[in-house]
Amino acid sequence: MSFASFGDFLAMGSHGAYVWSAYGICLVILVLNVMLPLHARRRYLQDEARRLRREESR
């Protein structure tokens, strides 16, 4: 499938809104699949460090 112009490519034969929104949703999901575990790990490590400091001060 070839397109005459970049505008035609973006329009995707009048299916552009569906195609680009699907790509956008997939990109958001992929980014979340990377970022959420990293954030949870950082929070876990901070909580464990806080717990260890609390236990040491007893």
The answer to the question of residue 55 being in a domain is no
The answer to the question of residue 33 being in a domain is yes
The answer to the question of residue 40 being in a domain is yes
Q: What is the total count of domains within the chain?
A: 1
Q: For 10-50, what is each residue's pLDDT tens digit? A: 999 899 999 999 999 999 999 999 999 999 999 999 999 99
CA neighbours within 13 Å on the CB side: how many for 17? 1
Is the overall model pTM greater than 0.85, yes or no? no
- Identify the residue whose tokens are 């299916």: 15
Give the range of the structural domain holding residue 35, as residue numbers without chain letter: 15-46
Residue 41: predicted pLDDT: 98
Under 8 Å CB-to-CB from 18, ≥6 apart: which residues?
12
Do 20 and 10 form a contact (C-beta atoms < 8 A)?
A: yes
The answer to the question of residue 27 being in a domain is yes
Query: What CA–CA distance (Å, rounded) separates 31 from 26?
Result: 9
